[in-house]
Chain A
């Protein structure tokens, strides 16, 4: 066929040898972000941020144009005006939505007295679409460090893995390599939450088999030197009894929907004290199973937090420690 010359085959052999070398080196030395990876991220992070800023309004305009335009054949002028107003409405809606997301994020951060850096998701996954990661438009310049927790208004999103100057990569909680210490609400028994079962399911392993995990139990992060405690993770939906093992496992549905991530916050500083369970949304008052023990306290302190608009931070902080959050003051 004339295309497969000896030189081409030699070239292929060299390239394949190069890939095998790369795979071997990277596999042997661990997956820590090497120099080349960091450099690529610091070059492409800003490009992705810029591209995402361009693409977002285009998508918005496209979605506003898909509405049927009834004035089209009646008057061009009206049609144009109409389209422009629709665009404006769509963009207003987007701004309102963003503001709502930010204030909801603010409220959840205030409840835990976390100091957060807000960021937006600029790209999702990798080129193959199989990595459970997102890139966000905040990095070292915003005070972000590896291993910090990322949350949105619903709960835990993931952990920061690599950081460049202006962007970072976040490993989502549903990634197979994600393992985060977790505990059940109202207990201090250590367990771990892991991904790998798709976007809407996590597996929780409790290291104490004598404790009974029940459906409907809620999980928060355990907290350690590296990451903040008390961030809501999800609800147990199914207990998988392992029989006579030393641990118990359960299926957990995360609060966060990873398909629709947009505004997120990175916990850059946290209170000296464990915020306990108060970051979790208050339980509904007519509890179906049994009256919740913290019902008398919760509604007054955190009642309007999940639905209310921005009613000001201080009212939403925990009952015991009161006081508004002084950003950065605890560091």
Chain B
């Protein structure tokens, strides 16, 4: 499952838009320590795990760009991070297929990598999103939150994508 196919990509894109809004409206105001559960990233990782690197990269780019547009930081930072994360997670998809634990580890790892990557890029551009001291706790926090969210989200995403594809493609 390497290429891009229209139906799953469009369905996933719609889900990601909803996730971006939910992230801003529902998760953003929650008073939580060590960052927030990153709904968008976890959803992206789930989709990329199932659909592969091409879909992961494209959707990561799109979701990141939307996040960039709805913020004040330099445009393209989040698009870059999410695009890379989508691609890398997609590459790992074949390795971890069928193993729940390995999938969870990949999703949590991707959340941590994205946090560190975003902090690094924003620091390079001269407007650090996180202070050097808080990068590690935030990365650990986002991995932890991802571990909490992913067990609920991943089966949903898998079922939805299977349904959207209508049993047409066989993995």
Binding site for B on A (CB under 8 A): 1-5, 7-8, 11-12, 15-16, 18-23, 25-27, 31, 34, 36-37, 40-41, 44, 47-48, 51-52, 55, 121-131, 133, 135, 161-162, 169, 171, 176-177, 259
Contact = CB atoms under 8 A, between A and B. Distances in A.
DSSP class of B's interface residues: helix, strand, loop or mixed?
helix
A3 B25 contact: no
Contacts of B130: 130
Nearest to B37: A129
A127 B40 contact: yes
Contact of B2 (A8, A23, A34, A131): A8
B54 A23 contact: no
B81 to A, nearest CB: 9
A44 to B, nearest CB: 6
A11 B3 CA distance: 10
A16 B2 contact: no
A1 B54 CA distance: 14
Given A11-B54, A12-B87, A1 B75 contact: no
A129 B36 CA distance: 7
A22 B25 CA distance: 26
Interface of B: 1-4, 20-29, 31, 35-36, 38, 40, 52-54, 57-58, 61, 64-80, 83-84, 87, 90-91, 93-95, 118, 122, 125, 127-130
B109 to A, nearest CB: 17
A11 B127 CA distance: 29
Contacts of A5: 2
A36 B68 CA distance: 10
Nearest to B122: A130
Contacts of A7: 2-3, 54
Given A3-B90, A4-B53, A48-B24, A26 B58 contact: no
A162 B36 CA distance: 25
Contact of B80 (A11, A19, A51, A130): A19
B34 to A, nearest CB: 10
Contacts of A4: 2, 53, 91
A23 B125 CA distance: 9
Contact of B72 (A19, A27, A129, A161): A161
A29 to B, nearest CB: 10
B21 A26 contact: no
Contacts of B64: 19
B97 to A, nearest CB: 10
- 5 smallest CB-CB distances across A and B, nearest first, come from A22-B76, A126-B71, A127-B67, A130-B129, A40-B69
B127 A177 contact: yes
B114 to A, nearest CB: 9
29 contacts: A3-B91, A7-B54, A8-B57, A12-B87, A15-B58, A16-B84, A19-B61, A19-B80, A22-B75, A31-B74, A34-B75, A40-B66, A40-B70, A44-B70, A48-B21, A48-B24, A48-B25, A52-B25, A123-B25, A125-B28, A126-B71, A129-B27, A129-B36, A131-B71, A131-B129, A133-B71, A162-B72, A169-B72, A259-B31
Contacts of A123: 24-25, 28-29
A128 B75 contact: no
B58 A23 contact: no
Contact of B61 (A15, A34, A44, A169): A15
B24 A135 contact: yes
B21 A44 contact: yes
Chain A CB count within 10 A is highest, among B23, B72, B118, for B72
